[in-house]
Structure 1
Amino acid sequence: MSGARTPEPPKLEPMSAADAAVIEEQLGRPPRGVAGIAYRCPAGHPGVVATEPRLPDGTPFPTTYYLTCPNAVAACSRLESIGVMVELGQLLADAPEVAAAYRRAHEAYLADRAALGDVPELAGVSAGGMPDRVKCLHALVAHSLAAGPGVNPIGDAALARLPLICPPTGH
């Protein structure tokens, strides 16, 4: 968990009409500002969407990688409820190499968002508490799923604690 690979921006798949319908069902509302699908579950459903840094109504939106899979959302909520955020926050304090990798994850997140557009109001702001704390496992797991292993050590650590979040048969 100490090292982080040099990330390339995740390859985004265009959102199809079928994807939009699945995401609307997952979220209970129509998706907004989707730049593309950043991760699909084993059944092929959208699990993480990449969101434009400015929503269609002009609102700045810092959460580039948004977890949509309801099973993953519920599993992250369970981890948060049992204190895993506190534990991973302590890991940042105790392990300088993990903290350095987490800072690199923050920079990678900012670079990914910049590739989607420039929103000055969001300068230096990533997601999930990066670069100094653990605030939202949902955002950190979404980043790990989108970027792949080795980019976000805290997202990877949380993801490793999740059960199989989407069975191959679907949500």
Structure 2
Amino acid sequence: MTVSPSDLDAVSAQLGRPARGVRAVAHRCGCGLPDVVETLPRLPDGTPFPTTFYLTCPRAAAEIGRLEASGLMREWTSRLESDPELAAAYRKAHEAYLAHREAISSVPEIAGVSAGGMPDRVKCLHALVGHALAAGQGVNPLGDEALELLPDWWAEGPCVGEEPG
């Protein structure tokens, strides 16, 4: 897979630092810019990097931060403990995440570690939303639920630079 120089420039501007280990644009925002990138399991400097689907849009990240601040992660972790169907679907999302990353490259240091607290707790909604956007609806149930709670972060236009054209 390739990533265009303009995509890398946009992601770097979104992050406020040079993008590292980007393998592909995993999802595009409603404005056309990348909002989730797929990263290599091992960064170019050799560091293991378990977050395969990395949310880059600062507007989306800010909205997700508001959800996290509301205590939603604690509530959803409790739901996992009391709802076996949700727990099974969340475990399946974890397994899909691991399989996707392993298909890119095997990194023993992060074997079995996905993102966002999967499979037993909810630790980072940013990672769950990134996974849900990249994988599509129906793969990560809590990522899907978080997406439903977010406003249209792209409605005001691109978060950085100009709309791609």
- Pick the TM interval, shorter chain: over 0.9
Aligned counterpart in structure 1 of residue 20 of structure 2, from 16, 27, 32 = 32
* Residue of structure 2 in register with 1:143 after alignment: 131
* Residue of structure 1 in register with 2:64 after alignment: 76
Secondary structure of 2:38's counterpart equals strand
What are the superposed Cα offsets for residues 125-155 of structure 1, whole Å, 9 maximum, x if unpaired?
0000000000000000000000011000111
Moved over 4 A (4+): none
TM-score, L = length of structure 1: 0.90
* Residue of structure 1 in register with 2:5 after alignment: 17
**1:3-152 equivalent positions in 2, closer than 5 A:** 14-152=2-140
In the TM superposition, what is the alpha-carbon distance from 1:93 to its structure 2 partner?
Answer: 1.4
Aligned counterpart in structure 1 of residue 145 of structure 2, from 157, 160, 165 = 157
Structure 2 residue runs of 5 or longer lacking an equivalent are 160-165
1:36 maps to amino acid: A
TM-score, L = length of structure 2: 0.93
* Residue of structure 1 in register with 2:163 after alignment: none
Secondary structure of 1:48's counterpart equals strand
Number of residue pairs matched? 159
CA distance in 2, matches of 1:94, 1:76: 24
Structure 1 residue runs of 5 or longer lacking an equivalent are 1-12
CA distance in 2, matches of 1:117, 1:65: 14
